[in-house]
Amino acid sequence: MQYLKPEIRAKILSSALDEFAEHGYARAQMRRIAHGAGISTSNIYRYFAGKEAIFAEIVRRVHEQVSALIANVLKAEAADGTNVQTAAQQIADGIMTVYLDYGRELLVIIDKSEGSKYADFKDVLLQMLCQRIKKTIFNQPSELDETVIYVLANGFLEGIFIIMRKEEDPQRIATLINRLVSFYFEKLEKRLVLSADT
């Protein structure tokens, strides 16, 4: 068995990240990844079983960190005294932390994972946020239309990712996301109760 060089593996992952960011998982080609890494296509298979294994390695840390964030958010109880704005800020801060460490990888798993086993990643995040909003605002079953909560959560999450796609400065991204949290969630409990009463 030949020695696998860490620098070649790193070049493959770097080239693959570029390929997935540009073409997405479904349209990515091993030939282009190999070319970008400066190696033959057959040599890639000495390091990785295939495109799925490369993609999994690229998004692994993002998936682990966001999965931990989801678990922590869902464990939190509405009785912990956290209002929905604070809960949303905690979620946004968690996503921002992942972005600061793995920005391109996060956007690849969010935007470019169709066809991979991570294709539902964004939907899982969305469902977590919907559950947290319901759990935080309502300690008991509510008449509030679930569609309203879904639209609210979807708009908020998509807003975070639009900001991350369009902005480069981490400080500006954080500032805009904080504004987004305020826009969507400031006094939300009162706004939803008032709209439910009418």
Domain range list for the chain = 1-48, 59-197
The pLDDT confidence band at residue 140, using thresholds 50, 70 and 90, is very low
Residue 169, both tokens? 């400065």
Q: 1-48 has which fold?
A: Arc Repressor Mutant, subunit A (1.10.10)
Tens-place pLDDT, residues 101-116:
999 999 999 999 999 9
What's the pTM value of the predicted model, to 2 decimals?
A: 0.87
Q: Is it the case that residue 148 has pLDDT exceeding 90?
A: no
Q: Is it the case that residue 143 has pLDDT exceeding 70?
A: no
